[in-house]
Amino acid sequence: MKNISTPSLPHVRNFALGLLISLPLTGIGTGLHASVDRTAFEAVAPTIEQARANILISRQLQFTHLRDQTINDELAGEVFADYLDYLDGQRIYLTQKDIDDFEPLKESMGASLRTGQLQPGFDIYNRVQTRILERLDYALGQLEEGIGQFQSESDETLLLDRSKADWEPDQEALDQLWDKRLRNAVLGQRLNGSSDEEIIEVLTRRYESQRKRISQMRSEDAFQAYMNAFTGTWDPHTSYFSPRNSENFNINMSLSLEGIGAVLQSDNEYTKVVRLVPGGPAARQSQLSPADRIVSVKQEDEEEPTNVIGWRLDEVVDLIRGPRGSTVTLEVIPATASDETVTRTISIKRDKVKLEEQSAQSDVIELDRNGETYRIGLIDIPTFYADFQAMQRGDPDYKSTTRDVRRLLENLKEERNIDGLVVDLRNNGGGALHEANDLVGLFIDQGPTVQIRGTDDQVQVLADQDPSVAWDGPMVVLVNRMSASASEIFAGAIQDYGRGLVVGSQTFGKGTVQAVRSLNHGQLKITQSKFYRVSGGSTQHRGVIPDIKIPSRIDNSRIGEDSLERALPWDQIEAVPHARYFDFSNVIDDLRDRHQARFSENPEFRLLQKEIDFLEEQRETTMVSLNEDKRRRYQNELERRQLTIANARRELRGEEPFESFEAMEEHQEQQAAAAHGNEDDELDFIVREGGHIMADMLELDRRMATILPSGTVTARAQ
C-alpha cells in the first residue's frame, strides 16, 4: 500500500434542507497566514422550480412514506444536524462561531421545510463552501512556504475520525488542526519514499483539484444536498434525484453493464463500494472490496488521476463508466486501512457483466468420515435473475434462477446421487422478488413465502402454488453480510419452514421496498413497503440470524442496514399458517458443538480468525502518531502482520511464501493487471464446512434423509 494525503471535502451526495426566512451570514474571514490570490466561491441561489419540488417532497414524505412522522421542530432539528454533518462531517471547516450563526435558522426550519423557503439553507451551503476554500487556500499557502516546517519529531497525535468531535472554537484553532493534518499528509508521503519536491507537487495538485471542484458547485448541488438531509430523516433509502440523476437512476444499484460492476453509494465526502456485481470485472479480479472508499479515478489515456473526494455520486460514476475493453484506475482507501493516508491503486479493465457468471452453478463435495463417504450437492446462486424480455416474448426456454436451479437439482439427484444439499447465497445481493418466491417453492409442497406490508397497513402474502418439490432432502443455506433482499427472503423462509439450517453470518437486513415518483423537478425515491417472513418477523434491520454462526472479515459497523443512520427498525406482524418440516431443537446444540470442535482444529479457520482480530484492532484505532519514528515502526508492524497472514495462507495452499511485503504487493498488482485474483480462501473452506454440517445432520438423525411435514404453525412469531 502507498501513503497519500486525502484531506476531507464535504458530503454532497443526495442530501439537503429547507428554511423559512433568509438570514444573511456575515463576518466571514479568510483565516489565511499566507498571501494566496485565488478565485472566491460564487454563491449559489435557489430556483422557483426547486422551491416547488421542496413542497411536493414535503407532502410525499408526510403522507406516503412507510414511517409516520410529521415535520415539527424536533424533526427540523434532526435535519439541521444532518445537513451540517453532510456538509462538514469531519468538522474540519466550520467553527463553533459558524454553528452559533446558524442557530436562528434552526428555530424556524420546520415551517420552511413545508413551504419551500430555501434561501437560508443555501446560505448555510454557501458559508460552508467558502470555509472549505479558506482551508484549502490555507493548506496551499503553507505548501508555498515549503514543508521543512512539518517536522515529525514531536509526540503529537491526530484523531482519525472527528465526526463526534467538538467544533473548533475559532480560525486559530482550525489552523492548528490543519497544521496537524498537513503534517500527517507529509509524513504519509515521506514514509512512501517521496522527496520533499514530490510531496509538494502531489499535495498542491490534490488541493488545487479539490479547490477547482468547489469553485464549480452550482445551485443543483446545494438543493440536492439540502433535500437529502431532509429525506434522510425518514430513512436512508429515501432520497431526492436531481433531473440529471433521474436519468442515471441505475447508478444507485450498479454501474452500467459496460463498466466495472460495482454497487456504489456516497459515504460523507467519499464514494464507497457497497458490493460487487457477480460476474462483473471487479468481482472477477478480486482486488476491489466492500467498504473501500474511492479517492481518485484515472483513465488509461490520462497522465494524472482526477481526485473525486467530495464529488457527487453520479459524477464519480460517470468517470468510472467507459467503453468495453478500456481500463480505469481507481485509487482507494482500503476497508482495512489504518488511516485515510493509506491508499491502494487498482486497475480494472471494463467489460460487460458476464451473465453466465451470474447463473446458478452446481458441484459435489465428497467427504470421507468414519469410513463412510458423503456426497453433498452444492448450488451457488450469485443473484436472483430472470430474462424478462424472453419471458414476455413467450420463449419457453427463457433463463431464470428457479429454472436453472431445478435443472441442476435434477442432475445432482439422478446423475450425482447426492445425500444432502448446500445452497450458497453468500454475496448474493438479491434481484427479482418473484424468483425468490419461486425458488422457495422448489423445496416446499405449497405455502406462503413472504409478506409485504404497505403504508396502509394492508398485508400482501406471496405464496408458492406449485405442489411439486424438486428436492425433499436435507439442506444447508450459506449466507453472509452481503446476502440481502431476495436472499434474505429465501433464507428466512427455509428457516421458518424448518426446511434446512442457515449457516454463516448475519445478513444485510434490507427489508424495505422503494418506489420512484416524478416531481416537477427531478424524482423522489421513497420507501413504501416492508418485507416480513412467514413467521411474522421483518427482514428489515435485523436480517436473518444464522442457526450456526461463522465469523466474517466484513465489518458489520460499516456494511449492513443496521449501520445506516435512521434505518427503519425491525418489527413483526402476525405469522401466516405454514408447514414446519423439521424441528432442529433436538440436534442444534450437538451440531454447533461439532462445528466448533472442527473449526478449533481447522488451520484455515484459525487463520481467518487471526485476520479478523487484526482487522478489528485496526478498526478500533482512533489516533495516529505524527512522530516519524513511531509511525514508521507502526507501519512496519502492520506490514509484518499482513505478510505473516498472507504467507500462512500460501503455505496452506502449498505455495512459496513472499520474501517481503513489497513482493506481496507486486504479486497483487500483477493479478490486478491480469484481471483475475486469488479465490477467496474463506469461501472454499466454509463451503466444505457447510458440507460437514450436512453430514453431521445425516449422522445425527437419519430421518432427515427424507423429510416429511410435521405440522402447521399458526402462532405469532416470538
State the Cα–Cα distance between residues 404 and 385, nearest whole angstrom: 10
C-alpha angle with apex 714: 456 to 480, nearest 5 degrees? 75
From the candidates 267, 438, 464, 496, which is the catalytic residue? 496
Phi/psi of residue 89, each to 5°? -60, -30
Phi/psi of residue 451, each to 5°? -115, 145
State the Cα–Cα distance between residues 655 and 678, nearest whole angstrom: 12
Asked if residue 324 lies in contact with residue 359, where contact means CB atoms within 8 angstroms, the answer is no
Give the closest residue to 464 by CA, choosing from 436, 484, 428, 431. Answer: 436
**Cell of residue 21, nine digits:** 426566512
How far apart, in Å, are the Cα atoms of 359 and each of 87, 249, 279, 380? 42, 25, 9, 8
From the candidates 106, 272, 510, 530, which is the catalytic residue? 510
Q: Which residues contact 446 (CB under 8 A, 6 or more apart)?
A: 463, 464, 465, 466, 467
**Cell of residue 362, nine digits:** 452446481
How far apart, in Å, are the Cα atoms of 329 and each of 275, 410, 673? 18, 44, 10
Other CB atoms within 10 A of residue 474 CB: 26
- Taking the mean position of all CA atoms in its chain, how far away is CA 441? 30
State the Cα–Cα distance between residues 189 and 152, nearest whole angstrom: 12
Based on its alpha-carbon atoms, the radius of gyration of the chain, rounded to whole angstroms, reads: 27
Phi/psi of residue 18, each to 5°? -145, 150
Query: Whole-angstrom distance between the N-terminal and C-terminal Cα of the chain?
Result: 48
Map residue 88 onto helix, strand or coil.
coil
State the Cα–Cα distance between residues 194 and 192, nearest whole angstrom: 6
From the candidates 194, 266, 359, 485, which is the catalytic residue? 485
Buried b (16+ CB within 10 A) or exposed e, 442-458: bbbeebbbbbbbebeee
Asked if residue 485 lies in contact with residue 492, where contact means CB atoms within 8 angstroms, the answer is no
Give the closest residue to 326 by CA, choosing from 278, 381, 371, 281. Answer: 281
Give the closest residue to 420 by CA, choosing from 368, 487, 495, 476. Answer: 476
Phi/psi of residue 688, each to 5°? -60, -40
Asked if residue 11 lies in contact with residue 86, where contact means CB atoms within 8 angstroms, the answer is yes
State the Cα–Cα distance between residues 252 and 242, nearest whole angstrom: 13
Question: Which residue is listed with cell 429465501?
Answer: 490
Q: What is the DSSP letter of 567?
A: P
Q: Which residues contact 552 (CB under 8 A, 6 or more apart)?
A: 480, 481, 504, 505, 612, 682
Any catalytic annotation for residue 485? yes
State the Cα–Cα distance between residues 479 and 611, nearest whole angstrom: 20
Question: Which residue is listed with cell 426547486?
Answer: 50
Helices (H), 297-418: 313-320, 355-358, 388-393, 401-414
Count of residues in the chain: 718
Asked if residue 517 lies in contact with residue 526, where contact means CB atoms within 8 angstroms, the answer is yes
**Cell of residue 407, nine digits:** 435443472
Which residues face 523 on adjacent strands?
241, 518
Buried b (16+ CB within 10 A) or exposed e, 404-431: bbbebbeebbeeeebbbbbbbbbbbbbb
Give the closest residue to 441 by CA, choosing from 578, 544, 583. Answer: 578
Active site (catalytic) residues = 485, 496, 510
